Every structure is written in C-alpha cells, then in structure tokens.
Structure 1
C-alpha cells in the first residue's frame, strides 16, 4: 500500500503510517530499528531495494531522505513531500520516502527525529555523498551506527584517510564489510597452519579501498609490512602470507571461487563470491555496537572507550 503526501509534516506522516497499518491489518510490532537512508534521486531505487531485502532479516522502519536539486532551494519551494509504503510495498517493515525542498533540506535531522521508532536503535546509511565526519552530521548524531561506502567516491584512498581522521565509534564502511569472507578465511587458515607470518601481500585492482583496509588490518594484527600489489582485478584477487614453512595463499582471480593453499597441504577450493549490497547491509545490522576491528584497520588502533 502506498500513500502520497504533498507539502506535508511529520505528524501527518505518522498519521498516514497508522492508517496504512490499520488498512492492511498489520500492527506496529516486530520492528527492531530505524534505518535512515540519505541519498539522491538517481541512487534511491537501488538503496531502497537493498534495505527492503535486508528488512526480511531485520524488520525496520526505513526513512529515505532525498534532498532535491540545489536550483530548487529557495523559500518559495521550501516543502516536504512524502511517500508512505506499508505491507508488501515495504519488505518486512515500513518505508517512508522523504523529498525535501528548499530550507527543509538544511534541517533533515528535525524532519527525521519525530519519525524515529521510540526506544529503538537508529542506523544511518549514505549510499553516496557521505559527509566528511558522519558522526557530526545532523542525521549521524541520531544514530548508533553510521554506514558509508568508499566504493561510491572518486578518490577512495584519499577519503579513507579522511575517515580515519574523523572516525568515531559507530562508524563503518561497506568497503570493510565486503572483506568479512576474506578475513574469516585468513583467520581459519592461520589457525590451521600455526606458523609465524614473516611477510604479506595483498593483490587487488588499483586504488581499491577494501584492499587497503585489508592490508592495514593485516599489518595491525600480524605486525608485518604488507605489500600492495596491483592486479587486473576485479576488486581483491589474492592474499599471500609468507612463513618459514612456505606461503599461505588465498587466490581469487575471478568468479565466485577461490583457491586456498597451505604449506604441506593440498590446495582446496572455497566459495568467495562478491555479495550484493542487501547482504552487506543485513550483516551490518546484526551488530549495533562499535566495530573495533574496523577502527583498528582504519586508524591503526582500537577506539577509546570514552570516545
């Protein structure tokens, strides 16, 4: 069910949500968090689709904030339009698409605040155009977790260094989430090999932010220098860990399969596919505390408890 509201207010949107749930016979129970997506019109469809797919694992109220083009930003066009979606139109939760015009765009936090689920965690996701310091953004300050994506920027390694300077507990990035299968396999390989790593290399396409985060994580955990080796890609293609017994290698030149090689053991084939955005978001919503490993990979040290 969809309800369109033009030049509306937060109170009218809340009323429409209640009316929509009543019309389809669905009570407002079972939603575990509020997901706020800040995006543009071009990327809104894909972001909403990913959030709705993730909501099957994490039922949530999704608030999509779309700030319209700057040329419309003047007092005569300052307004808030909304599209309320409930039932099958909104996955396993409910979705409100908010389009802000004029001065309203400068006060997105005030628009969103009355629409948050009471006593529920808040997660903010910027699929594109994330702020330089997410924790200080007017929407970021409302959230326990703040999700960005270095794959959506032009100079990801420069932005990665900026994120390291502005990091606050609760920040994370989908470039890091994409590494979960790699990190799990590397940890399992080291548990099996039980050898000391003396050198390391990460092979990936040029300027890949996941590869840089993986290299920083390995340096922090293994206390060795990690070489960055440019390959043809796509994304991360191999990790090589040198030991006195021989190399530990995870190699994925292309496709969803990787080869794991351990010293003195036959090679084995492992599944290592590139996951869709909906799976990445679902993974991030499984934990709402600060991701200490991301902080270590990003900044080289664990976050301070009183940060």
Structure 2
C-alpha cells in the first residue's frame, strides 16, 4: 500500500501512519532500528529496494530523504509505503524543496522510533564528514559507499581524515568474505616462512582493492603492490610471496575463487561478488563501532603505498 501526501508536514505524515495502522491493522511492533537514507534524486528506488530486502532480516522503519530542488517554493512532499511495498518495514519517503531541500534532522525527528538505534546511510553523495552532518550527529552508525563517488580512492582518504567511531563504508563490507578466506590461509601458514611481499589485483575503480591492500599492510607488515585491472571488474587476485612458494587466491569470474598453495591441489572456493542488499544487511547486524575498519581507514590506508599502483599485465 502506498499513500501519497503532497505538500505536507512531518506531523501530518506521523498522524497518517498511525491512522493507517488503525484502519488496516499495520503493526510496527518488533522494529529494531530506524534507517535514515539520504539519497540523490533518481536513486531512491534502488536504495529502497535494498533497504526493504535487508529489513526482512532487520525489521526497521525506513525514512528516505530524497533530494529535491532548492530553487522551487518551499514545501515537503511525503509518501508512506507499508505491507508488500515495504518488506518487513515501514517506508516513509520525504522530498523537500526550497528551504527544506537540504538534509535536516528536523525532517526526521518526529518520525524516529522511540528508544531505537538510528543508522544513517548515504548510498550516493557521501558527505565530507558524516558524523558532523545534521543526521549523522544523531546516528549510532553512519554508512557511506565510496564506490559510488567520482573518485573512490579520494573518498576513502576523506573518510580517513574525518573518521569518527561508528563510521563505515560498504567498500569495506564487500571484503568480508575475502578477509575470511585470507585470514584462514594465513592462520594455516603462521610460523612458517613469513610473507615477504603482497600483490592485490583489482579494478582501477575499486575502493575495496585499496582497503584490502591497507588491511594486508597492517596484518602482514609487508610491502603491498596494487595491480590495477579494467574498471568494473571488482577484486580479482591476492598473491602472498613466500620463500617456500607463493600463495594465491584468484577469482577469475564473479562467483568462484581458486586457492593455490605450494604442494597442494587447487581448491575451489565459493566467493561471489556481494550485492547491495547483503552488504547493507551485514552492517545493520552490528550497532557498535567497527574497530578493525577504524584502524584500517585511519592507520592502514596512510601506510599503503598507493604510488605502487601499476597497470595489471593481465
């Protein structure tokens, strides 16, 4: 069910939501958090679809602040989605114009679930300092996506310089399965020949490649080279150089990786590229700061020699 509320106020939106519950039996019990999505015009539906899917694992109220034109007369258009149009959540879409076009805490304060954590998500157009924005200052977690920025690597350094506990980025979340597999390999060879050099191969436009290199720089304390491949291909390969033979984790396609180790048969490992829904759902599972990401973005990134980036020969 979708109800349009043109030229409205947040108070009227809240009252309409309550009336819809009374009329149709729509229940908000069991909502565990409020997800506030701050997005650009034209990207609302992609973000709503991902949030709806994630809400089936984490029932929540979703408030979407969609960019409106600051040049039009001041007004607020609202929309409420419940039932099949909202997954396991309630979706409230607000589009401000004129003086209400900018992100503002006052637009959402009356709609926040009482005594529930707040997560802010910028799927496009990450702010320079998420924790210092109007919405970010009241959020427990703040999620950006540097992969959608014009210069993803520059976006990572912006996050590094303004990092506040509770910040995270979906470029890091996309690495979870890679880090699990590499950590398992490194545990197996611990105490054996040390890793003397690392090569990380990934797309030239992939901030995940840079973050993985930063994590490995911190974890292994070895020089890391980034081999830049064609844009849009994602993360492809990690090679750990050792005196007794290299270890290589290579994903030639999108779903299955191959693990090469000295004197062992090749292992095929499920390692699919992660979708937006899976990454968002993972971030909503935890409301405490991600300390590892904090260390990687503030310390590991600065230690990573990005001048070592070279064009892949593949």
TM over 0.5: yes
In structure 1, runs of 5+ residues without a counterpart are 303-307
Match of 1:200 among 194, 198, 201: 198
CA deviation string 1:113-148 (max 9, x = no partner): 111100101011111111100000111111111111
1:126 aligns with 2:122: yes
User: 1:88 aligns to what?
Assistant: 84
Partners in 1 of 2:189 and 2:255 — Cα distance? 24
In structure 2, runs of 5+ residues without a counterpart are 302-314
TM-score normalised by length of structure 1: 0.93
Residue 23 of structure 1: how far off its partner (Å): 2.6
Residue 207 of structure 1: how far off its partner (Å): 3.8
Whether the 8 Å contact between 2:217 and 2:300 is mirrored in structure 1 is no
> How do residues 102-113 of structure 1 correspond to structure 2 at under 5 angstroms?
102-106=98-102, 108-113=104-109
TM-score normalised by length of structure 2: 0.91
1:185 aligns with 2:184: no
Partners in 2 of 1:110 and 1:66 — Cα distance? 15
Whether the 8 Å contact between 1:193 and 1:262 is mirrored in structure 2 is no
1:164 aligns with 2:160: yes
1:261 aligns with 2:245: no
User: 1:143 aligns to what?
Assistant: 139
Whether the 8 Å contact between 1:17 and 1:86 is mirrored in structure 2 is no
Q: Secondary structure at the match of 1:258?
A: strand
Partners in 2 of 1:301 and 1:246 — Cα distance? 26
Match of 1:100 among 92, 96, 99: 96
Query: How big is the alpha-carbon RMSD for the aligned residues of Structure 1 and Structure 2?
Result: 1.5
Partners in 1 of 2:14 and 2:85 — Cα distance? 17
Match of 1:174 among 167, 170, 184: 170
Stretch of structure 1 that moved more, 290-299 or 117-126? 290-299
> How do residues 1-307 of structure 1 correspond to structure 2 at under 5 angstroms?
1-72=1-72, 77-106=73-102, 108-194=104-190, 195=192, 196-232=194-230, 234-300=233-299
Partners in 2 of 1:62 and 1:187 — Cα distance? 35
